[in-house]
Amino acid sequence: MSQDQRFRGKSRHAVTGKAAIAAAAMAFTASGLGAGAVAQEKVTIASWGGSYQNAQSEALFKPAAKATGISVTEETYGGMSDVRLKVKAGAMSWDIVASGSGSAARAGEEGLLEPLDYDVIDVSNFYPTLKMKYCVGGDVFSTVFAWNTETYGDKGPQSWADFWDVEKFPGKRAYRGKVAGALEPALMADGVPPEKVYEVLATEEGMERALNKIRELKPHIAVWWSSGAQHAQLMKDGEVDMTTGWNGRFDVAINDGAQTAYSFNQALLDYDCFAIPKGAPNKDTAMKFLAEISKAEYQANLPKYITYGPTNKMAYEIGKINKAVAEKLPSHPDNAKLQLPVDIEWYGKFEQKASALYQDLVTE
């Protein structure tokens, strides 16, 4: 705790110091040399690589760099543990990192991230749940239930209660091997209304209730999946009849010919986001850049490259995304209203505890 405070205090000084230098520099250039000599602004962005970063790059980074004249360097990284190392070593080289919302919340709690300035970043058209103090949503995805259309025909499961109903829907299940996104469905299957889920989960008994519900289903869980590629493959190969998973992955499998369908009903609406790590060398430029890529016109590019939805609602209205595609996206208003937005605060507070209990359950 004390370390944390010291830590924050120190970096605040650093920030004000930097701001002063920046201001001085600006005054100098304005008075003496004119705008032409201002060094080119630059940001370094770290993301997860692969097709995901490629999509971000094509849809967001490159067009925004072109429009603002900010030069962008992209790197890949392994997640918030890398940020932690760099912050602790006082050698931060990234200005922006892409992260899962839950990890960003915990890293923010821990003092690894700069609070974002929402006077600079305009989020007035964002879904209110898709931003927080330390990170701004970059794309939206859903944790849904998917089923094999060969096994169940047209009468697939319609709710988490159906997912749990092995009498009505006999067949093998797959479920996530990690706690994120695993407890909420169990409570909904147990009859907790979506809006009460996180309230119930905030108590020890609530967590136990969810875990016990999963214990009930455990004999039918053939696989505990650990990656998006895996749950897509499980459905494609018909290895299980029903699974939880991320909508984008199922879309890819369906396009590949998998006998699979999924529903947004009672799904968990989650997002990936961008954050600025503590001690970022170009913090102010990073803030400006985040403001740029949060605009609807860039957000609307996303679905061209990956089936994740934009976080800015306006993206659906500027006519860049065609209707058929829009209706499949998790953040489309018609789909969003069916879903439970993931409560990042809950994860910040309880994920480590819940994870320990969940690992006990899985290894039982």
Partner 1 sequence: MSDVALPSSGPASAPPSGQTNQRELKRDARRERFVLFSLCSPALLLVLIIMVLPVGWLFWLSFLGEDGNFTLENYQRMVESKSYARIFRNTFEVSLLTTAICILIGYPLAYFLSQLPRRTANLCMITVLLPFWTSLLVRTYAWLVLLQRRGVINEWGMDIGLWDEPIKLVHNLTGTLIGMVHIMLPFLILPVYGSMRAIDRDYLKAAANLGASPTQAFWRVFFPLSLPGLFAGSLIVFVLCLGFFVTPAVLGGGKVIMVSMRIATNIELFFNWGAASALGVVLLVLTLVILGVASRVLKFDQLLGGGHGS
Beta carbon of residue 81, minimum distance to partner 1 (angstroms, whole number): 5
What token pair was written down for 288? 């400006």
* Candidate list 45, 55, 83, 344; residue touching partner 1; CB under 8 A: 83
Beta carbon of residue 54, minimum distance to partner 1 (angstroms, whole number): 22
Beta carbon of residue 247, minimum distance to partner 1 (angstroms, whole number): 21
Q: What DSSP string runs through 221-279?
A: EEEEE-SHHHHHHHHHTTS-SEEEEEHHHHHHHHHTT--EEEEEEEEEEEEEEEEEETT
Span 226-245, contacts to partner 1 by CB under 8 A: 226, 230, 237-239
Q: Does 3 bind partner 1 (CB under 8 A)?
A: yes
Beta carbon of residue 32, minimum distance to partner 1 (angstroms, whole number): 44
Q: Does 217 bind partner 1 (CB under 8 A)?
A: no
Q: Does 252 bind partner 1 (CB under 8 A)?
A: no
* Contact characters 21-60, partner 1, x per CB under 8 A: ----------------------------------------
Q: Does 199 bind partner 1 (CB under 8 A)?
A: no
CA–CA gap between residue 183 and residue 195 (Å, rounded) = 14
* Nearer to partner 1 among residue 110 and residue 284 (C-beta): 110
Please give the single-letter amino acid code of residue 16.
Answer: T
* Candidate list 110, 117, 165, 199; residue touching partner 1; CB under 8 A: 110
Decide: helix, strand or coil at residue 346. helix
What token pair was written down for 170? 């006999």
Q: Does 5 bind partner 1 (CB under 8 A)?
A: no
Of 335, 10, 3, nearest to 140 by C-alpha is: 335
Cβ contact 238:260 at 8 Å: no
Beta carbon of residue 84, minimum distance to partner 1 (angstroms, whole number): 5
DSSP-assigned beta bridge partners for residue 261: 147
Beta carbon of residue 351, minimum distance to partner 1 (angstroms, whole number): 7
Of 10, 280, 257, nearest to 134 by C-alpha is: 280
